[in-house]
Amino acid sequence: MRILISADMEGATGVTWTDDVVPGTEQWQRFRRLFTGDVNAVVRGLHAGGASDVLVNEAHSSQRNLLLEDLDDRARLLTGRHKPLSMMQGIDSGVDGVVFLGYHAGAGADGVLSHTYLENQITGVWLDEVPASEGRLNAALAAEHGVPVLLVSGDDRTCEDAADYAPGAQLVAVKECVSRYAAICLPPSRTAEMLSAAARASMDRAVRAPGAAAAHRIEVEFDASHLAQAAAVVPTVEQTGVRRVGFDAASMTEAMKAFKVVTAIAAGAVQGKYG
């Protein structure tokens, strides 16, 4: 049984504000340890449930956050940026299940550090007319490869979202959202137990099915008109509103690659304090 962990950081144990997840800050150095601890707890549970190989794909920011020297030695770590499938690199490698660890609510939704790809320039994303978090987008990509989502961890709002897009997955709320920058947090000793137990139980669903590609449409709304104008330069991307763009793709894989381009161009169009 081969399992992929897509490891984001905003939904990790104890994380509540910007400095906790921005590379280079003192707080980030502290939370790298807690983040790695969450991953190790899941790796332990997956192996206890029968996993023979666990690949951990770093999915946050620089994608160089986890501490390799502290990682469970039964895991392998995919670290670094510029991966074709970004957060989901490895989903096409024959894995039997995927874990969304440390995930968060989507742009425009209530939740600790909620966003979708860009931290604050995107106010909403829709997949086939349904509001879409990173989790929903990534679950659709996993489904295209026949890979079930086994477990989702993050705050309580993240788990509510995941109950809809991955109804059979184990859900672990490591904190309760109070606001975008505040949460009621559980200590790592407790979240480790919860994550390990859920990971072990999730292995009952680790069965890869035949995949199938299908057409999808993604729409993105920004907080400023010039970002939509910049993104609309991409072939196949049309500006559908003052701050909104949309595009169609023949598969979820192609849709996510296009989405990655759209967000990169929009990020490059942000100018100082005025955005």
Q: Residue 146: pLDDT band by 50, 70, 90 thresholds?
A: very high
Domains, the chain, with CATH or none: 2-205 (3.40.50.10780), 216-269 (no CATH)
Q: Return the active site residues.
A: 115
Question: What does the pLDDT read at residue 54?
Answer: 98
Question: What does the pLDDT read at residue 211?
Answer: 93
Q: Are strands 149-155 and 170-179 parallel, antiparallel or unpaired?
A: parallel
Take residue 205 and report the two structure tokens written for it: 């669903």
Handedness of CA 202, 77, 211, 249 (dihedral sign): positive
Amino acid letter, 6: S
Output DSSP code: residue 106: P
Question: What does the pLDDT read at residue 107?
Answer: 98
Numbered residues of the known binding site for Zn(2+): 8, 10, 60, 104, 134
Per-residue pLDDT for 137 more than 90? Answer: yes
Question: What does the pLDDT read at residue 273?
Answer: 85
Take residue 21 and report the two structure tokens written for it: 């997840």
Residues above pLDDT 90, as percent of the chain: 99
Take residue 155 and report the two structure tokens written for it: 């705050």
Numbered residues of the known binding site: 8, 10, 60, 104, 134
Q: Give the mean pLDDT of 125-142.
A: 98
Residue 149 — φ and ψ, nearest 5°?
Answer: -80, 115
Listed residue (89, 195, 197, 203) closest to 150, CA to CA: 203
Mean pLDDT, the chain, whole residue set: 97
What strands, in cross-sheet order, belong to the sheet with 216-222?
Answer: 130-131, 122-127, 216-222, 244-249, 238-241
Q: Give the mean pLDDT of 87-115.
A: 98
Per-residue model confidence as pLDDT tens digits over 22-69: 999 999 999 999 999 999 999 999 999 999 999 999 999 999 999 999
Per-residue model confidence as pLDDT tens digits over 179-222: 999 999 999 999 999 999 999 999 999 999 999 999 999 999 99
Output DSSP code: residue 196: H
Per-residue model confidence as pLDDT tens digits over 235-272: 999 999 999 999 999 999 999 999 999 999 999 999 98
Q: Where are any strands of DSSP class E within 102-195?
A: 122-127, 130-131, 149-155, 170-179, 182-185
Output DSSP code: residue 105: P
Residues above pLDDT 70, as percent of the chain: 100
